[in-house]
């Protein structure tokens, strides 16, 4: 095995992406004819009797950019854990489009099926170049041994080029990923997820630790992804949220407290009391 193949192996073991089993092409089966791409209905999750999610109802439209805010412990990360299959709810239902029951799929199947999640811990390969990281994340298909043994197809190269432009790292494509700034590493990670063509992208606190300029670029990046992807962003940085906000959902004690435009939720006395007034 050459080093690149070894790294693919590592990734496969980490269950980030699967390069051996053919990825079922769920994306064509995601039925969004009624609008939403995600239906989270009456979902409750308890940890030792404590309700982290309490009859949560959330509907995300196909192609929308949704911001989720709320105080610490409101259940934002738990909500993402439920959507991605990491945590199973005690009650409720979670559907990907109208026909795919996410509660019946494994975490792995959900990831391969088109719901990508950006974790805070970096999963990029620091010793590889920016380009190689994207190459490694290139969407696998039935012809896995073909992609392992042959060089990239023209289509795959075009996609890498497109993603490099989107994440603003075109000039850095030869650079070792470990030498990137904190913000650039986060964008590279988003780029690696984009190589899998997810329908839905979940990002939890993407701008933590970024410089002002990096925050601005992240806002542009996530905004540009909406439409082609549905993007769910959880963030505490209110200036950032304001800069990208369309529809905002406020979670509190595991339920939706308010939903609307940034202005609407900001002026909602209940939201001010539990969160923004802090
Ligand atoms: N695996 C777990 N075991 C026990 N309790 C948990 C577990 N995961 C989350 N919790 C609890 O569930 C509640 C919701 O946590 P969650 O991480 O979803 O909140 P959050 O809205 O993401 O908060 P933050 O803004 O601080 O990230 C918290 O009280 C947390 O302590
Ligand atoms: Mg959290």
Q: Please, what are the domains in the chain?
A: 3-276 (3.40.50.300)
- The answer to whether 253 and 62 have CB atoms below 8 angstroms apart is no
Spatial separation of the C-alpha atoms in residues 66 and 135, rounded to whole Å: 29
Total-model pTM: 0.89
233 DSSP assignment: E
Q: How many CB atoms lie within 10 A of CB 246?
A: 12
- The answer to whether 251 and 70 have CB atoms below 8 angstroms apart is yes
Find the residues whose C-beta lies inside 6 A of ligand 1.
Answer: 47, 52, 70, 72-78
Residue identifier of the C-alpha nearest atom 30 of ligand 1: 73
Which protein residues have a CB closer than 5 Å to ligand 2 (ion)? Answer: 76-77
Residue identifier of the C-alpha nearest atom 24 of ligand 1: 72
Does the structure show a pLDDT above 90 at 234? Answer: yes
Residues 94-148 pLDDT 10s: 999 988 999 999 998 998 889 999 977 768 999 999 999 998 888 654 444 444 4
**C-alpha 196 to ligand 2 mean position (Å):** 24
Residues 29-77 pLDDT 10s: 788 888 899 999 999 999 999 999 999 999 999 999 999 999 999 999 9
Residue identifier of the C-alpha nearest atom 7 of ligand 1: 47
- The answer to whether 208 and 120 have CB atoms below 8 angstroms apart is yes
202-215 average pLDDT score: 95
- The answer to whether 246 and 211 have CB atoms below 8 angstroms apart is no
**C-alpha 67 to ligand 2 mean position (Å):** 13
Q: Which atom of ligand 1 is nearest to the CA of 45?
A: 12
Burial track 42-67 (b if 16+ CB lie within 10 A, e otherwise) = ebbbeeeeebbbbebebbbebbbbbb
Q: Give percent of the chain above pLDDT 90.
A: 72
Does the structure show a pLDDT above 80 at 23? Answer: no
pLDDT tier at 16, thresholds 50, 70, 90: very low
Residue identifier of the C-alpha nearest atom 12 of ligand 1: 52
Q: Which atom of ligand 1 is nearest to the CA of 251?
A: 21
Give the number of residues written for the chain.
278
- The answer to whether 233 and 67 have CB atoms below 8 angstroms apart is yes
């Amino acid at each position: 095995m050459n080093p690149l193949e070894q790294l693919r192996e590592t990734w496969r073991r980490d269950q980030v992406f699967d390069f051996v089993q053919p990825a079922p092409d769920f994306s064509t089966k995601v039925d969004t004819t009624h609008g939403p791409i995600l239906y989270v209905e009456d979902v409750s999750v308890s940890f030792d009797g404590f309700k982290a999610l309490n009859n949560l109802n959330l509907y995300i439209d196909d192609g929308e950019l949704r911001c989720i805010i709320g105080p610490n412990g409101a259940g934002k990360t738990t909500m993402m854990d439920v959507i991605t299959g990491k945590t199973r709810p005690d009650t409720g239902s979670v559907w990907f489009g109208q026909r795919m029951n996410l509660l019946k799929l494994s975490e792995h199947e959900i990831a391969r099926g088109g719901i990508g999640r950006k974790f805070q811990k970096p999963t990029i390969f620091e010793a590889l170049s920016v380009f190689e990281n994207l190459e490694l994340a290139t969407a696998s298909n039935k012809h896995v041994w073909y992609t392992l043994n042959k060089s990239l197809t023209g289509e795959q190269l075009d996609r890498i080029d497109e993603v490099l432009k989107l994440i603003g790292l075109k000039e850095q494509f030869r650079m070792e990923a470990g030498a990137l700034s904190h913000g650039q590493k986060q964008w590279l990670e988003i780029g690696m997820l984009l190589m899998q063509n997810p329908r839905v992208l979940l990002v939890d606190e993407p701008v933590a630790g970024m410089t002002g300029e990096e925050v601005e670029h992240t806002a542009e990046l996530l905004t540009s992804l909406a439409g082609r992807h549905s993007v769910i962003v959880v963030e505490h940085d209110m200036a950032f949220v304001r800069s990208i906000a369309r529809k905002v959902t406020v979670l509190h004690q595991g339920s939706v407290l308010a939903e609307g435009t940034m202005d609407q939720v900001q002026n909602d006395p209940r939201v001010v009391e539990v969160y923004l007034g802090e």
